[in-house]
Structure 1
């Protein structure tokens, strides 16, 4: 297998901002000023569901910007598309995964602005799961099996599951680019799709963020799901900004998010505790150093940012 060392050698203080308040002015793409602020959603959940979740974010930001500015939500095909939109100046803000954000900073496609908080913590889990009637009980049992992963640049749905498999002694081959040379058969899609593939019996296991597998009311996995392995302590996903966005606008957007009312998190129905609530309930200022644990795992796997351009 090709040597794929040196993903990111170190983390600098990128994306830190000073907080100010005031009306956010003109936005737009190529160049800014067409009167549009675009917020991109990563494909962690089905599009219709995420649009419902983020509708209050769109409305809230619309209240913060100038009267002649329109706020748009866009749903990206994958994490790479999120980074391209930001890097090419076709979007101002995005919610994305930790690994994708680190890649985006490395490739000068985004700047990390905020970290999200959810379920009482600033970090979360990656899991490999199977069906509860399976004879798979540990990662080593997955040799020769079919595994569904989330997007190639997902931390919890690709990077960390591959790390668990490697730690168990399995060869991950060219993962996450392909399963060539791997000790298992792999497909990459999204968290929801990967989990659905498992539950429909199309694969033997899924490597995903635990959030897609978890019943929060019960405090346990959803019915029919069994854990194979997990990693905790992954910094929760960031909100990132386009490098084309000037400092003043980024400062104002960060301030707007930090000062947002609770109602911004309640989804399109405006009611707390319903199905369309956002998965997170707060934000704090962040930078690349916040995501150093993710970078370290990428380095351990020998993943270079340039290779993921092929994904």
Structure 2
């Protein structure tokens, strides 16, 4: 089942996608986050969706503006594709050897939920950046609260999936990471989610014997295919990622866990590392990036001019006086 959030006459609605992409409103639901909390699990969410489909048909999805399918309270973005790590090491001028620590556990960082935008919204160039990049990922959405979960337990806590574009300002990131923290402002302008929240049961037919979802991933810039990969090339399953995220911590309904960027052109920086030059070049205003995930759908965002950065002084060298 596919759930969407749309705007019509300045009002926000939650809907289920019916036949021929017609929207069926879910009565009483103001957001998917609210719906997830009230349903407390996949079975109840599917029941709510079935009731909506039995009700009156609303507008066609093309007649309204689709919003992000959820407003995640937390965004954990992992790095689970070995090929992507190799490409990024090359792009930084290092040998393509993956750090040994990467193999220990599915590492992640926390991204800003306030940067989330809709599947077709415009993306401004981050202030001060001249090296904007896309990142093709899939996001898993938590449906029920859990803590210290095993991978086997974690499957029941994943309620659905969405396409995730983790936009990145590569020039800002390269500077920030030298401090030993971050990235921060390099990934603080836009995070695309959408077009739908696809419930977990819809993707079970794609699951392989190892528990990975064998979904085709495609990245295009201005209609030209730049990258292709399979989601099953991840080195950890989403269930293992959820289990790790819940270690000594709590995951709650609406939390988003990103797969990390796929390989083979899942982002431009990886290709730059492989080719030794910036081809294709960084994104500029007018470029449209379309990311497609089999079984989930496509998001398509056009880059627009950003605003100049507000001036901030450099660090002051203090005298280090003591009280």
Shorter-chain TM-score: which interval?
under 0.3
Higher relative helix content = 1
Task: Give TM-score scaled by structure 2 length.
Answer: 0.25
Instruction: Give TM-score, length-normalised by structure 1.
Output: 0.26
| Bigger strand share | 2
Bigger Cα Rg: 2
